[in-house]
Structure 1
Amino acid sequence: MKFLVIDYKSVKEIVSDRYLQSADYSRGEDLYRCVSNGIVTDFHNEIAVVKKNNGLIFLSNEPSPGKVLVIDTEYFKGFERNENDVITILQKSLRLAIKTWDNIGHSPCEKIIQGTSFIALMPFSFVTGKSYKVMFDKRPECVRQDKRQEDNLLIFSDGYEVGTKPVLANYKKATEAYFGLNYSDYIKTLDSKEQVNNKYVSINEINGVFKNSNPYLGMEFWSQNLTKTQRDFVYSTSLGPDILKGAAGTGKTLSLVLRCINQLNQAKKEGKSRKVGLFTHSIATKESIYNLIVSNGGESFIDTDGPQSVVVTTLQEWCINNFANRISATEYLDKDALESKQLQLMYISEVVDDFLLNDFEGCKHFISDSLISFFSSSDKWPIYSLIQNEISTYIKGRASEDFDTYKTLERSNNSIYLDSEDDFSTLYMLFNKYQDKLIDLNLFDSDDITISALQETSTPIYKRRRIKDGFDVVYIDESHLFNMNELSLFHNLLKIDSTNIVITFDKTQATGDTTLSSTDILSQFNVENTTDEQELSAVFRSSDQIIQLSSCILASGATLFSHLENPLINSTSGHTIIEEKKCIYPYIIYRNSEDEVALSAFEEVDKLSAKLKIHKSKVLIVPTNDTVLQRLKSISEMKNIEIETIVRRGDTQSLINALDYDKYIIGGMDYIGGLEFDAVVITGIDKDKFPNKGNGNESNHFLTYSAYNQLYVAVTRAKYAVAFICDRTKGISPIINVALEEGLISKN
């Protein structure tokens, strides 16, 4: 195949069709096979594919001689890449063609080559180093086109360097082939019956925007509307071990729930017994998943004594109900693991404050300079967080509270740097003071409950009970939120010798243990690394501009942290061009004081809600730290502004309250994972506030690493718009410097 010709109407149809945005859809795969291998496929019911003169022509039912895009496939090698790369290149190229024809401004990934008629398109998510480019010519044979009043475009090369002038031989053959067609011989026509019944009609399209992002549509709907990767995962007959990886907004949780329902339905059909446990990290996400199961036809399986059943629960709830029933509800910090960890952090902060006030000066005589520097930070919050991680992961979890074991453990790059035995003794002293506080209050934290359950599951009595009462399959949503203590327990909840565990995982959203990889998780499940691992690439939530920004944030972090993964590197937006018209380019605004920044957050919500024609509760305000949050609350009280605050991860009730009572919605970075908004306003993106400042190399390392993760999570909550607000007197956070330099954030 020497060329591909796509006429104007065909270009418009392809960029507007939901099922042609990714090769994960069957019709997207048909389109890939057509452009990559020259195979005539029926990928669209209004576009005919015609072979002529050693090339292909995409002919719409409204031919447009003089307005076609020609791709010279002899010199352009982009269609030789993998299937999703090909679809991304094609879709981005067609969008650039429409912008050129309709005189729409270019984005930063479309660079005009000065002094020429060429445009260099960079179709892939941001990466450091040289970018892959697709070379366009806006005016091939410009003299001839001017005479004929034509407006044809040409893609003539690709690669990592800007190409030379195009060779026009194939372009001439292509335009002659298109002009020489007898259009009536090829144009597809549809009668009214075909238009109604055709499987490609988007029955959920309202005002041109496809609405299938609603997860509560039932198994029958999803059986026709999943991507290929999602379908392979959902309808897999494997009971595990399986990992589904993907960036925020790719549909990991929905796919996990649908797979659970499908496997229960299949077991019922085959007359097999199947007892399933579906574990979430918090009560809020448990309630959301419960609703997903009910709305997609799985209600009959929930908490039943029948042969096929599913228990939807948090891990801490399960431990309390099954292993820790010798303690009463008043003896654990909180029934919700997330709330329990927040209370744990509060008690640790009290212990640290007491140490700094009464003991720190004396300790300076024998602890290392690095630990002195760590405790000398003016911002205490990072100290509390790191010591919480130290107590949970190292002292309680890995050392089983034994000091001699603790000081010999291998430590991660992101932990507190301890240089001597006195350093370890100091941290262990803080642990003992924290434990004394729990003893005085007669309370147990989430680590106590999990570790106690882990010990109990190792007893001969429980091992025998697992033969009958253990789960056949365990599903774990958002495994990246669990710490090592919690992950170690899951394999003991299965029947003996079973490895039937299915999980979703996105390291970039990790709060449980930020150093974990999928391999580390497998090791905690006692399974070999032969797991079936699938990765979702089509992002259905966010616009392409937001994906580019998110990828830049992660790529910038990856230059500092070799283990910071970028799940967006091969991701593409699932938005059609109609949805793209709603999108607003990410931007930053500057104010002159912290009060102005806080007030501007509410003003920006009003502007975005008016522009997008949405309720203000669809725009999330994200403070970068607690200081900014308190400032927002103070301004709201002063100005009589009604606000609703997200108080825990997966807190859908706050979203309902904000909508019902006409309030602004605010959510801290640690609580907004798993939620979705039309727009996000990130408030306080200042040099002195984000990342939080520690003192000492290792603590700064941890905090900066966490900041990249947190900002990625915040940005990927948005569908159409992301705004940043900065106090110009403080300076901009270095976390977004690269994005600003690359033009991925515009300055208002």
Structure 2
Amino acid sequence: MKTIVITENALVIACHPDFPLEALLADNPPTTFGSAFFQSGETSLLIATKGCNDTSRLLVIGEGSKGFFDLLPVDDHATLFERCVRVGLRSFDKQIALNPNWMPYRQDNRTSLFATGSSDLRILAETNYDGSRNTYVYDLLKAVSTKDLHNCEPVSTPYLNAIAEFSELLAKGASITVNDSGSVVLDHIVSESVAKGFAYDEWLPLLSLAQRDFVDRDIVGPLRVRGAAGTGKTLAMVMKVLKIAKDAGENPKRILFLTHSWAMAGQIDEMIRSIGRDIPTASLVDVYPLLTISNQRDYSAIGRRSLGLDSDSGKRDALKIISTIVDQFVASDWVAYRSGCSPSFVEQFEALPNSDLRRNLSWDILVEFGCVLAAQGMLGRDRDRERYMRVRRVGYMMPIVTSTEREVIFRLWVKFLAHLKAEGLIAADQIVSDYLNALQTFYWEAKREKEGYDYVFVDEMHLFNAQERLVFHNLLADGDAVPKVVLALDPKQSPREVFAEIFEDRDKKNNSVYARAGLPNPEKVDFVEIYRYTNEISILAKAVIDTVPALDMGEDWDIPGGSSVIESGPTPVYYLEQNTTGVFKRAMKVAKKQQFTARKRGGQVAILCMDYEKFHTYQNAATGQYPRDVFVIKSRDDVEQLRYMNRRIVFSTPEYVAGLQFDSVVLADVNGDLVPDTNYKGHQERRFLSELYLGISRAQRELTLIASKDSEGLTPYLQRQEEIGNLKRA
């Protein structure tokens, strides 16, 4: 391969999902791509824009000591290239972060990070190489060989040869005509309307009246924007960040944009840089997941690593731990508690280990751990037990009838924490709890004026629990001023109960979610126009959310459902198959058929599984039978690679693709048995319907549902929609 040279201004173009990487690696690139042009020399390939000159900073990607791109499968080339480009962006702009999941490691001016999520190869790069302002990505080596970067010396010949050719290739490109209008285009993961490549001043007149009012409104205290999926909340938040930066002028501001995952952080970071590309500003805009901000300690120094519950593998690991400790508890201490428990509670604990009842119990315990115990920072001590015994039970929670049942759950929580400790694990909620304590110290008070933020923006607030919400206002530079925190939310998009508040029996009054987060009486702006999907899909989504049992959240549960302003499309349809095998075959058949029309519209097809227990089976079948046709998303951070898989069918669950949009969606296993008619129905019903709403609202043009006869057929929550014509059988 030839050495690749990318000028600083061309790096953002190299991030585009349709960037012709394979043609570049074959030394046969097009003449232009967007506003960039290509020039091939004897030893190097140049990617540059018209604004470049001999003094431009460069990212140089070398051949490696044992090869580079050829060391990985073709499917991994785009991921490797993106990470190299991200290293370049980071070296030229310190506001840009490297995803911690890539395990970046620095020694002096050298950086190392994993090439892909599944490879043991690490990228090696050096900033200001050879005394220049350039960054040189110089090797790809086994992780075991990169422990000491001082011993990983770069081979300089490819770099020096490329630099020698640079001026000549740049001069040759001066005569090439490029398409300036396509200079920057956002990742296709962003909703179709956002992906037009418009800059800030071009977007302003296109905003709705409600969006423009939100962007122009002065921030005098907490401000929240509410709206259903597809109403443009994230775009409006980005525009407001850019307006603050633009208006700051000579008085730069520090702005933090918090998200729930690195996937969303990366998307928003690209939106801010693309839409705000023409705004000259000295203001700082940081975009990070909350957990990254919170993870200020080196837990590896005490032998701990994070157990992430936002991924498929993390959840399954946690469920295995819970299942194990329940088995151990039933075989030992259970007899001392049994007589104080209700019959339904006893039935679940004494069910066979692999039965549906026991699996449902493990899920309920996982939610109780995450949304009640961990979310409130309870660490398993006696005072935490007393607090837990006082927690006021509400409808969405796991049904716990007696005080003995609470004792059982708390005992399991203590055992769970002990298991984490023994295995060298630490839960995300424990990291946040540590960080909250750090934010209450004199040390933070002394430095917050300098390192705190003037504004904090929070996307998808409905995904943050009570403990996490306490972080927001504590990150502001002025701890005494009215908090300038801007929130976007739609609680019905959350398949978890984290947004609901937890109260203790001794609480005198039910303070709101916002008051308890230190954000009292936030102003409210509602978005009701939907730009993402057809009216036919909008009607079905609204019918589902109107059925969801309300949490104790007051007006924020009654956010306007919204109405679509885009052209009509086909009525959603459903299939009724005999069994799980039939559901899988039908899902793949429908998806492959819809893929052709979706591609013509520039979109993608997704199969989303409603039954989490079957998701693992389906993904194995999909990757085994259709390895070149599907791309499985098993966590929100897998979305990072989706931009390079836009010709494949996405296979996932609604939760993992929250915030993303697809031309066509196939929802598998929309079954009646997912909400069993038991004492536990209330909270399972809410969780199922929120997940269903989330899945439906991922579709832009076509929506197909599939149910199984051996799982009680189509969920009864949608049968009425068939009767009135909002859903029809295929």
Does 2:489 correspond to 1:516?
A: no
Please report how far the alpha carbon of residue 415 of structure 1 lies from its aligned counterpart in structure 2 after TM superposition: 1.4
Question: Which of 644, 647, 663 matches 2:631?
Answer: 644
Partner residue in 2 for 1:526:
518
Q: Which residue of 1 aligns with 2:284?
A: 309
Match of 2:586 in 1: 600
* Distance (whole Å) between structure 2 residues aligned to residue 339 and residue 602 of structure 1: 21
Q: Which residue matches 1:389?
A: 367
User: Deviation at 1:224?
Assistant: 1.7
C-alpha distance in structure 2 between counterparts of 1:424 and 1:536, whole Å: 41
Q: Give the C-alpha shift of residue 650 in structure 1.
A: 6.3
3-state DSSP class of the match of 1:365?
helix
Distance 1:685 1:376, change over 3 A: farther
- Which whole-Å CA distance do the structure 2 matches of 1:616 and 1:589 have between them? 26
In structure 1, the residue matched to 2:695 is: 714
Instruction: Give the 5 Å matches for 1:91-490.
Output: 212-214=193-195, 216-238=197-219, 240-267=221-248, 269=249, 271-297=250-276, 308-321=283-296, 324-325=297-298, 328=301, 331-334=304-307, 342=315, 343-356=317-330, 359-360=333-334, 363-375=337-349, 378-379=355-356, 380-398=358-376, 400-401=378-379, 402-490=384-472
Task: Encode CA deviations 1:323-374: one digit per residue, 9 max, x unaligned.
Answer: x346549623157966796354553343334434555466423333342244
Name the CA shift for 1:715/1:584 in 2 (closer, same or farther; >3 Å): same
Please say if residues 471 and 493 of structure 1, whose CA atoms lie closer than 8 Å, have aligned partners that are also in contact: yes
- In the TM superposition, 1:577-596 aligns within 5 A as 579-580=567-568, 583-596=569-582
CA contact (8 A) 1:407 1:424 kept: yes
Q: Please tell me the residue identity of whatever aligns with 1:658.
A: M
Question: Are residues 459 and 745 of structure 1, via their aligned partners in 2, closer, same or farther at CA, if it must alter by over 3 Å?
Answer: same
Shift of 1:516: 2.5
Check 1:375–1:331 CA distance in 2 against 1; reply closer, same or farther (3 A cut).
Answer: same
TM-fit CA distance, 1:548: 0.6
Instruction: Check 1:464–1:255 CA distance in 2 against 1; reply closer, same or farther (3 A cut).
Output: same
TM-score by length of 1: 0.64
Contact 1:595–1:631 under 8 Å retained in 2: no
Contact persistence 1:482–1:511 (CA under 8 A):
no
CA–CA distance in 1 between the matches of 2:197 and 2:329?
51
Q: 1:265 to 1:625 in 2, by over 3 A?
A: same
Q: Is the 8 A contact 1:279 1:476 kept in 2?
A: yes
Is 2:663 the counterpart of 1:678? yes
The structure-2 alpha-carbon separation of the partners of 1:438 and 1:299, relative to structure 1 and needing over 3 Å to count, comes to farther
Q: CA RMSD in A?
A: 3.2
Q: Say which of 537, 540, 549 aligns to 1:546.
A: 537
Equivalent residues of 2:310, 2:636 under 8 A apart: no
What does 1:614-633 correspond to in 2, within 5 Å?
A: 614=600, 618-633=604-619
Asked if 2 retains the 8 angstrom alpha-carbon contact of 1:215 and 1:292, the reply is no
Gaps of 5+ in 2: 1-184, 186-190, 502-509
1:435 deviation in Å? 0.9
1:144-181 deviations in Å (ceiling 9; x for gaps): xxxxxxxxxxxxxxxxxxxxxxxxxxxxxxxxxxxxxx
Per-residue deviation, 1:275: 1.1
Q: Output the amino acid matched with 2:329.
A: F
Q: Which amino acid aligns with 1:366?
A: G
What are the within-5 Å matches in structure 2 for residues 496-507 of structure 1? Answer: 496-498=479-481, 499-507=483-491
Q: Aligned equivalents of 2:313 and 2:592: distance in 1?
A: 35
Paired with 2:396 and 2:617, the residues of 1 have a C-alpha distance of: 30
- Is the contact between residue 588 and residue 723 of structure 1 (CA under 8 Å) also seen in structure 2? yes
In structure 2, the CA distance between the partners of 1:437 and 1:215, relative to structure 1 (3 Å rule), is: farther
Distance between the aligned counterparts of 2:260 and 2:304, measured in 1?
Answer: 20
SS in 1 for 2:457: strand
CA distance in 2, matches of 1:743, 1:220: 43
Once residues 550 and 519 of structure 1 are traced to their aligned partners in structure 2, the CA distance between those partners, rounded to angstroms, is 30
SS at 2:546 equivalent? helix
Q: CA 1:520/1:237 → structure 2, altered by over 3 Å: closer, same or farther?
A: same
- In structure 2, how many angstroms separate the alpha carbons of the residues matched to 1:742 and 1:562? 31
Paired residues of 1:341 and 1:446 also in contact (CA < 8 A) = no
Moved more, 737-746 or 479-488: 737-746
Q: Is the counterpart of residue 655 in structure 1 residue 639 in structure 2? A: no
Cα distance, 1:609 vs. partner?
A: 2.9
Q: Distance in 2 between matches of 1:563 and 1:584?
A: 35
- Report SS of the residue matched to 1:489: helix
Q: Which moved more, 1:607-616 or 1:520-529?
A: 607-616
- Contact kept, 8 Å, 2:258 with 2:458, in 1: the verdict is yes
Taking structure 1 as reference, are residues 489 and 320 closer, same or farther at Cα in structure 2, changes over 3 Å only?
Answer: same
Q: Could you tell me how far 1:507 is from its partner in structure 2?
A: 0.7
Amino acid at match of 1:451: S
The one-letter amino acid paired with 1:294 is R
Q: Deviations over 1:676-717 (max 9, x none)?
A: 0111111112222x33x4x852x3211111111110010001
Following superposition, the deviation at residue 635 of structure 1 comes to 4.0
Change in 2 beyond 3 A, CA 1:243/1:687: same
Separation in 2 of the partners of 1:460 and 1:559?
Answer: 41
Superposed displacement of residue 232, structure 1: 1.2
CA distance in 2, matches of 1:726, 1:394: 33
Query: How many residues align structurally?
Result: 520
Secondary structure of the residue aligned to 1:407 is helix
Aligned partner of 1:219: which letter?
Answer: Y
SS at match of 1:287: helix
- Please say which structure displays the higher CA radius of gyration: 1
Taking a change above 3 Å as real, the CA distance of residues 630 and 746 of structure 1, as seen in their structure-2 partners, is: same
Contact (CA 8 Å) 2:672, 2:714: kept in 1 or not?
A: yes
Identity %, equivalent residues: 22
